[in-house]
């Protein structure tokens, strides 16, 4: 698997973050089952609630290009300890996978390996809508 390439792309994406308000830069890189890599960074806005996380930018870029099946998500931050996706992003990830491997990295080379099941063990799933 192209694990190292995906990690590098997440770090590159982090350096493109537009985060003038929080100064907290996040990068994401998403490897699709078809072998493509989609990147994202957080993009903030003066109307703070209009800001979007790096993970969702990467996922939405992939989905908008017709890719729905993912192999690996890498999230890069500049924190001392690698930092996990927020709750909204966990929900968005779980829309597309119930077992996606997720690697959290920082610039110092620390790595935490997890997956969406561990980060969101009891998700709200689209199947629940069938019970209406
Ligand atoms: N952020 C992300 O991009 N991903 C996360 O999982 C956590 C938070 C961004 C949102 C905001 O631009 C900044 O980090 C501080 O919350």
pLDDT in tens, 24-61: 999 999 999 999 999 999 999 999 999 999 999 999 99
H or E stretch covering 56: helix 54-64
All structural domains of the chain, each given as residue ranges with its CATH number in brackets, are 3-129 (3.40.140.10)
To test the ligand 1 pocket, which listed residue (20, 45, 49, 86) has its Cβ within 8 A of the most ligand atoms?
86
Is the CB of residue 42 below 6 angstroms from any atom belonging to ligand 1?
A: yes
Left (φ > 0), alpha (ψ -120 to 50) or beta: where does 66 sit? left
Per-residue pLDDT band at 131 (split at 50, 70, 90): confident
Q: How confident is the model at residue 1 (pLDDT cuts 50, 70, 90)?
A: low
Q: Report how far residue 112's alpha carbon sits from residue 84's, in angstroms, rounded to the nearest whole number.
A: 9
With the most atoms of ligand 1 within 8 angstroms of its CB, the residue from 22, 73, 93 to mutate is: 22
Strands 101-106 and 111-115 turn out to be antiparallel
pTM of the model: 0.97
């Amino acid at each position: 698997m192209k694990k190292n390439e995906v990690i590098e792309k997440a770090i590159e994406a982090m350096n493109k973050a537009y985060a003038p308000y929080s100064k907290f830069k996040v990068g994401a890189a998403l490897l699709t089952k078809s072998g493509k890599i989609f990147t994202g960074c957080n993009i903030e806005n003066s109307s703070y609630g209009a800001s979007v996380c790096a993970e969702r930018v990467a996922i939405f870029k992939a989905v908008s290009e017709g890719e729905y099946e993912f192999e690996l998500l890498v999230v890069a931050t500049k924190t001392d300890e690698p930092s996990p996706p927020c709750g909204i992003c966990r929900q968005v990830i779980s829309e597309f996978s119930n077992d996606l491997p997720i690697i959290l990295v920082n610039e110092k080379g620390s790595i935490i390996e997890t997956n969406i099941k561990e980060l969101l063990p009891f998700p709200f799933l689209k199947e629940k809508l069938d019970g209406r």
